[in-house]
Amino acid sequence: MAALNQPSLAALPPLALYIHFPWCEKKCPYCDFNSHQIKEGKSGFDEQRYINALIADLETEIPNTWGRQVHSIFIGGGTPSLLSVVGMDQLLCAVRARINLEPGAEITMEANPGSVEVEKLAGFAKAGINRISLGIQSFQDEQLKALGRIHNGEQAKTAVQIALNHFKSVNLDLMYGLPNQSLESAKADLETALSFQAPHLSLYNLTLEPNTYFANFPPKLPTDDEIDAIFEQNLELLTKAGYKRYEVSAYAQKDQECKHNLNYWRFGDYIGIGAGAHGKISYPGKITRQVRERHPETYMQAMETKGNALIEQRDIDAQDLPFEFMLNALRLSDGVDTSTFSERTGLPLSVISKGLDEASKKGLLDENPSKLKPTALGLRYLNNLQEMFLT
């Protein structure tokens, strides 16, 4: 590929806010996210100190996004539901005072089904959270124990019911391909989830990620053929129940897609604050990425002493933009309008014409010229499809 000129954006994309909460009661053996187990014998974490750091961090981004409206907020982790209701209310009030938040914006919080946290859900709703994502993973005690989860099946069911009573939208995270999981047990898990009629479900295949306990001490997992059979079973059950697979791992009832995640897949912008948070901010002539200090203590110290916790801030090279865009957009079952490529990258569509032709010939990409849309085969072999746009 010949050298590309720097991007030129006619308009800036939608903007979201991601807030990272880095602590958990227990580090799960499969988890490779930036989460840190609360040390035994400690009182937990310094909530006020961390909230102060988050607010100061957000203030550093105001000049970079001046005048732009924020369309969604996602509070992830870690286990954000470990925050007190008072702390959550203080944080959201501070955010609203500093950014132009769209009226009725989607505000999501991740939570675990532990009984202590469930009691706080009503308070979180009053603080302004209107969408909750519950890390269920399984409703079966044996599987939860194998995954190192701190809740049991009954606590998971209770958490789902309480969440549905208090929040406009609820997502249930489930995993499949679990240690020694059979087709029947996978079906039972999904049928339990479907019985609640939650508006959104996320299903993830358990993978052994580097630098996790499971990577070093791998459990016995189903074979690839068994995992394929579970996936096909899941897809059939979800389709019959009225859920649409709108993203590789996400299924929603009508008009219940996660707006925040859709912004990621459509190559929108997002401010990322908190320990280890990533951000993407566009300007008329460049697109930047940011990374913050990863460890919570180092992050808070950086905010307190330097007023800034960035460890990386770089402009995305024009050569890399096509792949970064397609890496995200091709996760969507409906894809994106062809025009979105130039709108979000500032580059002509011609720079990916070779990849588009190759993917179409292999049946991985829909031939509709107005869409960048994977076929069913393309979604199945998504990694192969995405790799076609590396050069």
pLDDT digits (tens, 9 = 90+) for 136-172: 999 999 999 999 898 999 999 999 999 999 998 999 9
Structure confidence by residue, pLDDT tens digits, 354-391: 999 999 999 999 999 999 999 999 999 999 999 999 87
Dist. CA 65–CA 286, nearest whole Å: 14
CATH number of the domain located at residue range(s) 321-387 in this protein: 1.10.10.920
**198-232 pLDDT per residue, tens:** 999 999 999 988 888 888 888 999 999 999 999 99
Phi, psi angle pair for 185, to nearest 5°: -70, -35
User: Is pLDDT at 177 greater than 70 in this prediction?
Assistant: yes
Q: What is the pLDDT of residue 30?
A: 85
For residue 1, what pLDDT band results from cuts at 50, 70 and 90?
very low
Nearest in space to 119 (alpha carbons), one of 91, 68, 159, 176: 159
- 75: phi then psi, degrees, rounded to nearest 5: -105, 105
Residue whose C-alpha is closest to residue 196's, from 149, 145, 147, 134: 134
pLDDT at 41: 45
* Angle, CA 221 vertex, CA 216 and CA 225 arms, to 5°: 135
Amino acid at 52: N
pLDDT of res. 211: 84
Tell me what the pLDDT averaged over the chain comes to. 94
Give the percent of the chain with pLDDT over 70.
97
**Which residues, at least 6 apart from 102, have a Cβ–Cβ distance to it below 8 Å?**
69, 70, 71, 72
- Mean pLDDT of the region 56-63: 97
**Separation between Cα atoms, residue 357 and residue 58, nearest integer Å:** 43
User: Is domain 15-263 annotated with CATH 3.20.20.70?
Assistant: yes
Domain boundaries, the chain: 15-263, 321-387
pLDDT (average), residues 60-81? 96
Categorize the per-residue pLDDT at 29 as very low, low, confident or very high, splitting at 50, 70 and 90. Answer: confident
Average pLDDT estimate for 120-130: 94
- For residue 333, which amino acid is it? S
pLDDT per residue over 339-355, tens digit each? 999 999 999 999 999 99
